[in-house]
Amino acid sequence: MIVILSPSKTQDFENINRTEIQTQPEFLLDTKELLEEIQKKEIDELQEVMQVSERLAFLNYNRFQDIQFPFSPEYDRQAIVAFRGDVYEGLDSDTLTDEDLHFAQANLRIISGFYGVLRPLDLIQPYRLEMKTPLKTPRGKNLYEFWNKFLTDYFNTRYQDDVIINLASQEYAKAIFTRHFKLTEITPVFKEEKNGELKTVAIYAKKARGKMARYIIQNKIKQPSKLKFYEEDGYKFDAELSTETKWFFIRPRPKKVEETEPKVLKKRGRKPKNTTNQEEE
């Protein structure tokens, strides 16, 4: 069983690396090829393609110009240490044990627009490059066309007997779930219930994805069926709503909702559409 997560735009390189095990990303040759295309761009071109402010374009222009290979633990950080934000708040890697991190290294993969696939203990440098970025390369018109074949082949060959537990956002999941993807995939979906109505609240769903990843890591879960017993933060598996590939986890809605809620879905009577959050965590 392999768990996949999205990366995070929020990153912290002040924290120290968690263990002495520090690995290099497996797709560094592809990352170098991608970097060559990015480094050709001026700041205004980078701002346009990334759809960010001038300040962020300037910051990331300098980041991309300064990247050096191979990565060093003196200056660079393990992916699970560097990524922050709602999903990684739920994962809470700072309190995982060495045994937990060893399990995560073998069973957790982070999909990245810049690095392709990351293991938790892979060293990375600061970057921002969302998978949905329409960056043209010799491989195609965007990053999906740059990565799709390589990532799909990676999972098909490396994990051909495994089930993929998809805790990534739709933006990142579709980088590997192409028509050529051969593995069984299960996507947990987290919803809040109030007065018989179901809603997806993005911030809660993100944290729940991180907490489920943590639950899998701490309990060393390798059989998907055991996830049906997941009850963290009041979520419970709903067999009636769930399908073979989408497993719904429902809880009573918390009293305070921190952001605008999406379209209401009835709990019974029809299946909800795919409402997996499409933004990078």
pLDDT tens for 32-80 read 999 999 999 999 999 999 999 999 999 999 999 999 988 988 889 999 9
Give me the domain span that covers residue 220.
2-266
275: in domain: no
67: in domain: yes
What is residue 19's predicted lDDT score, i.e. its pLDDT? 87
What is residue 98's predicted lDDT score, i.e. its pLDDT? 95
277: in domain: no
94: in domain: yes
Ranges of the chain whose pLDDT falls below 70:
255-281
Q: How many domains does the chain have?
A: 1
Secondary structure letter of residue 224 according to DSSP: G
251: in domain: yes
Secondary structure letter of residue 241 according to DSSP: T
Q: How far is CA 95 from CA 14, 17, 37, 99, 188, in A?
A: 17, 13, 38, 11, 24
The C-alpha atoms of residue 53 and residue 43 are separated, in whole angstroms, by 11
Task: Report the predicted TM-score, pTM, of the whole model to 2 decimal places.
Answer: 0.88
What is residue 255's predicted lDDT score, i.e. its pLDDT? 67
272: in domain: no
193: in domain: yes
Name which of 70, 177, 88, 168 is nearest 124 in CA terms.
Answer: 70
